[in-house]
């Protein structure tokens, strides 16, 4: 049914009396929504759902445990009737109309003086949609709008008027695949004025930015740090103090060997609002891409993530304790020799996953005793994730 005369209106009913007739599924849903809006809710029904009964016991609403009677709607600003009995809902509607109180009749929408929209909320916004008599259409439209608000594809910032105070978001971009960034991270990217990006971040996401977004590349490569960390910290603060929304786009997770803690501390020390958006760390996701779980029942129940900037000398545990090394290609031979000399031994399995989720992705499996020769033969290059332990070969065993 369509209704061209429908007049959408947002009601501010906090502290005002609202009466709900019926406490079944629909009545309960209506009562909960009204409570969330701060209404003074009275439910009239001989029986009540567990939710309504619990709210009544806690003093959150008033439950009158009997059938509806004439006069129950006195002083109500709004009435919802959802008894499932046509005659009762009709009587409630007639009384509400007679005293000029808006009424929602769940059974016969065309007899209602008010309709309830499908409602969604996001960041202080309220989205209310009507389906022209078909609730499913309204719900579908609401969900579509909310999803676009969540991922940032609706440009709500563009119509907010005065520029808000600048801020910084440290966004973990994940292991490299465009669709492995979080929804929150994607939304912040779409709202950004400035994006400060890394070499290992998901750079394809930059092509989705608005044309006016400034991109500052501070990428580092092995033995080549053209923009020192102190300067990166200062860039974030300077841009935010210009009133801009700044996203520091990092590969993996900002707090897993990503120096995110240093950047957060510097922003806080300089009075800049900052938030951290976790990302999917390559320490777990890249091994998973190669079919290697960092833990596996009966094989490994713990793991260590460490940097390979300097050779790893020793890690506690044996082959049942997985070791994941990031940024360790340059020191791979020495690290392998050190660990092979310990309890893990030279036969301990090792895998090197290069360019995980990238176009040059490659997986090399070997042992601690042989990996130095194998790495030289195949020409292993960074970026790569190194995994050491029995989990490396566990999948192969299961497939045999």
Catalytic site positions: 198, 220
Instruction: Give dist(CA 328, CA 324) in Å, integer.
Output: 10
Residue 31 three-state SS: helix
Instruction: Identify the bridge partners of residue 349 per DSSP, sorted by sequence position.
Output: 367
- Which has the closest alpha carbon to 15: 34, 30, 33, 32? 34
Site of tokens 């695949």: 177
Instruction: Give dist(CA 229, CA 368) in Å, integer.
Output: 33
Site of tokens 């009964």: 53
Site of tokens 């005293």: 99
- The two tokens of residue 7 are 């007049």
C-alpha distances (whole Å) from 400 to each of 167, 261, 292, 344 are 54, 44, 16, 24
Instruction: Give dist(CA 58, CA 65) in Å, integer.
Output: 16
How many other β-carbons are positioned within 10 Å of the β-carbon of residue 353?
23
The residues near 395 (Cβ < 8 Å, ≥ 6 apart) are: 291, 292
DSSP per-residue letters across 288-345: HHTT--SSBTTTBSEEEEEE-SS-----SS-TTEEEEEES-STTHHHHHHHHHTTTT-
Instruction: Give dist(CA 42, CA 72) in Å, integer.
Output: 10
């Amino acid at each position: 049914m369509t209704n061209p005369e429908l007049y959408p209106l947002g009601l501010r009913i906090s502290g005002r009396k609202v009466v709900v007739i019926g406490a079944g599924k629909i009545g309960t849903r209506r009562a909960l929504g009204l409570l969330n809006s701060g209404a003074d809710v009275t439910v009239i029904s001989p029986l009540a759902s567990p939710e309504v009964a619990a709210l009544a016991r806690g003093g959150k609403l008033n439950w009158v445990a009997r059938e509806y009677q004439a006069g129950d709607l006195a002083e109500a600003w709004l009435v919802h009737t959802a008894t499932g009995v046509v005659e009762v809902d009709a009587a409630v509607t007639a009384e509400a109309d007679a005293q000029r109180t808006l009424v929602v009749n769940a059974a016969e929408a065309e007899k209602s003086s008010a309709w309830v929209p499908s409602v969604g909320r996001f960041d202080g916004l309220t989205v209310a949609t009507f389906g022209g008599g078909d609730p499913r259409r309204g719900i579908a439209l609401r969900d579509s709008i909310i999803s676009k608000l969540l991922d940032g594809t609706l440009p709500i910032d563009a119509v907010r008027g005065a520029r808000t105070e600048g801020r910084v978001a440290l966004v973990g971009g994940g292991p490299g695949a465009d669709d492995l960034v979080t929804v929150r991270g994607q939304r912040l990217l779409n709202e950004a004025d400035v994006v400060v990006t890394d070499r290992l971040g998901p750079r394809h996401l930059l092509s989705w930015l608005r044309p006016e977004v400034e991109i500052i590349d501070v990428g580092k490569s092995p033995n080549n740090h053209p923009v020192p960390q102190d300067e990166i910290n200062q860039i974030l603060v300077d841009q935010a103090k210009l009133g801009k929304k700044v996203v520091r786009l990092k590969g993996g997770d900002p707090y897993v060997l990503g120096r995110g803690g240093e950047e957060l501390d510097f922003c806080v020390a300089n009075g800049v609002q900052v938030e951290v958006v976790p990302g999917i760390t390559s320490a777990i996701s890249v091994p998973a891409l190669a079919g290697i779980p960092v833990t596996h029942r009966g094989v490994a129940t713990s793991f260590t993530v460490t940097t390979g900037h300097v050779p790893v000398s020793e890690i506690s545990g044996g082959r049942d304790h997985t070791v994941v090394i990031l940024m360790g290609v340059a020191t791979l031979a020495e690290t392998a020799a050190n660990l092979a000399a310990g309890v893990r031994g030279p036969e301990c399995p090792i895998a090197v996953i290069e360019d995980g989720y990238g176009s040059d992705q490659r997986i090399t499996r070997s042992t601690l005793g042989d990996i130095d020769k194998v790495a030289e033969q195949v020409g292993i290059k960074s970026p790569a994730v190194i995994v050491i332990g029995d989990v490396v070969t566990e999948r192969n065993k299961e497939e045999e």
